Chains A and B, each alone.
Chain A
């Protein structure tokens, strides 16, 4: 069973056991506009919470995607690199960015559930 959590920086995390799948929210993609480039972290990289982990670029601008929690990158989405527009069409599905092995479950406590995130973006 997966639980989806959110950050105030508009990332989502689908938690399944000790693995979190990370992407940016539909709200975030609407703010960014047409995404034309995505750069993902290398598999095996140990990410620290809040460090720049990925880059998403629209026609107009580049934005960092920050690691929402600490942990090792297990897998990245090659399909997304090949087709960055997936962020616009399916931000919270096919357009996942990377999977991370959760290093410290206590970091999940600072994240929002869907209701709290909806209130945050309202």
Chain B
């Protein structure tokens, strides 16, 4: 095991809970986080798909973007200067997936943006949250008051039994549909609840004041259908769901089009749209929409049993030749009971069914370009 300096790591409000539940703590994005509990990654993964899993994602950044004018549309218009998404069109009580882009069309971070009626609520990645806050302050301060909500924890409750588990404490939960988001009381605590997640399953993400987080988590865990799930299974779940991990599948060198995230850029921001462009890297990103990108993120299913992991080089043939791409995430998919991966390949090699080879320990292992998600998602639309 890698040695690490526990003292330099931050703790989430649920740290004591993780330790008391037997969580195996590892450093992640500057936090001491549970990679797994005694059940283990495989069982935690399968339990989430069968019943419900509770995840501590409090390391992620939560921000409020408050319009100085008092009109949420002004905050939305301001945020559109930094993301290629249509933020203005997000109705009150709804949220949308977005990316902060850079001047080269690359992705600085991916995030969720919710319209809470009088302000926007953002959830960003842990490793990027300080940079994101600085980016927002540098660019939006004329129009918005930017507040990092450091006093809130974030709990994800995912899986087919998540609705019933949450309904016990939040009567409004069953009425939410996928990507609904807003303030709701959960067990009498003022929370922000969204029907979303990072597993491909139906579920919720619950922002809760730090001081109430452990109490709420323990109440949810009293339900025998709900098990605590570590970062290990969080990663295998999101991989099977075909969802990107920032810093791996997307980064400052990948455009949303290359990353196969074009679906998340609404027509209004594309060429010919009512508010086309006007975000960092627009020239390149719109050129990728209009003329195509030379590479694309694809799903990859190994034809053998050996997992193909991040960094493995991809080849067109079983011997010789230069690499044509690289795996950006890969591992074993417990629900598929097979290796799964994603990576970038030339657009010409990105058609479903294209046979490729990944170099693993000096051998070329056959793979096939496959549709994502690998496991059918069960969002409540």
- Which residues from A are CB-within-8-Å of B59? none
Contact, CB under 8 Å: A39 / B306:
yes
The answer to whether the Cβ of A55 comes within 8 Å of any Cβ in the partner chain is yes
Question: Interface code B330-346, partner A: CB below 8 Å = 1, 0 otherwise?
Answer: 01101000010000000
Partner of A36, one of B1, B43, B232, B332: B332
The answer to whether the Cβ of A31 comes within 8 Å of any Cβ in the partner chain is yes
The answer to whether the Cβ of A62 comes within 8 Å of any Cβ in the partner chain is yes
Contact, CB under 8 Å: A37 / B41:
no
Contact, CB under 8 Å: B42 / A57:
no
- Which residues from B are CB-within-8-Å of A58? 41, 332
The answer to whether the Cβ of B49 comes within 8 Å of any Cβ in the partner chain is no
- Which residues from B are CB-within-8-Å of A37? 305-307, 332, 339
Which residues of chain A in 55-100 are interfacial with respect to chain B, using CB atoms and an 8 Å cutoff? 55, 57-62
Question: Interface code A18-44, partner B: CB below 8 Å = 1, 0 otherwise?
Answer: 000000000000010110110100000
Number of A-B residue pairs having CB atoms within 8 Å of each other in the complex:
45
Contact, CB under 8 Å: A33 / B306:
no
Contact, CB under 8 Å: A60 / B232:
yes
Query: What is the bound-complex CA distance between A37 and B1, given in angstroms?
Result: 20
Minimum CB distance partner of B304 in chain A: A37
Contact, CB under 8 Å: B307 / A62:
yes
Interface residues on A, range: 10 to 19
Interface size on B, residues (CB 8 A): 21
Query: What is the bound-complex CA distance between A59 and B339, given in angstroms?
Result: 9
**Contacts A57-B332, A59-B331, A59-B334 hold; do A34 and B306 have CB atoms under 8 A apart?**
no
The answer to whether the Cβ of B35 comes within 8 Å of any Cβ in the partner chain is yes
Minimum CB distance partner of B331 in chain A: A59
**Contacts A31-B1, A36-B332, A37-B332 hold; do A59 and B42 have CB atoms under 8 A apart?**
yes
Minimum CB distance partner of A88 in chain B: B40
Query: What is the bound-complex CA distance between A55 and B305, given in angstroms?
Result: 13
Main secondary structure of the interface of B (DSSP, over half): mixed
The answer to whether the Cβ of B119 comes within 8 Å of any Cβ in the partner chain is no
Contact, CB under 8 Å: A60 / B306:
no
Contact, CB under 8 Å: B41 / A59:
yes
Query: What is the bound-complex CA distance between A33 and B306, given in angstroms?
Result: 17
In the complex, how many angstroms separate the beta carbon of A74 from the nearest chain B beta carbon?
23
In the complex, how many angstroms separate the beta carbon of B330 from the nearest chain A beta carbon?
10
Contact, CB under 8 Å: A60 / B35:
yes
Contact, CB under 8 Å: B232 / A62:
no
Question: Interface code B11-45, partner A: CB below 8 Å = 1, 0 otherwise?
Answer: 00000000000000000000000011000111101
The answer to whether the Cβ of B361 comes within 8 Å of any Cβ in the partner chain is yes
Selected A-B contacts with CB under 8 Å, 29 pairs = A31-B1, A33-B36, A33-B41, A33-B42, A33-B232, A34-B40, A36-B307, A36-B332, A37-B305, A37-B306, A37-B339, A39-B306, A39-B361, A57-B306, A57-B307, A58-B332, A59-B41, A59-B42, A59-B45, A59-B232, A59-B233, A59-B236, A59-B334, A60-B35, A60-B232, A60-B235, A61-B309, A62-B307, A62-B309
7 tightest Cβ-Cβ pairs between the two chains A and B: A34-B42, A36-B332, A59-B41, A59-B332, A34-B40, A60-B232, A33-B40
Using a CB–CB cutoff of 8 Å, the interface residues on chain B facing chain A are 1, 35-36, 40-43, 45, 232-233, 235-236, 305-307, 309, 331-332, 334, 339, 361
Using a CB–CB cutoff of 8 Å, the interface residues on chain A facing chain B are 31, 33-34, 36-37, 39, 55, 57-62
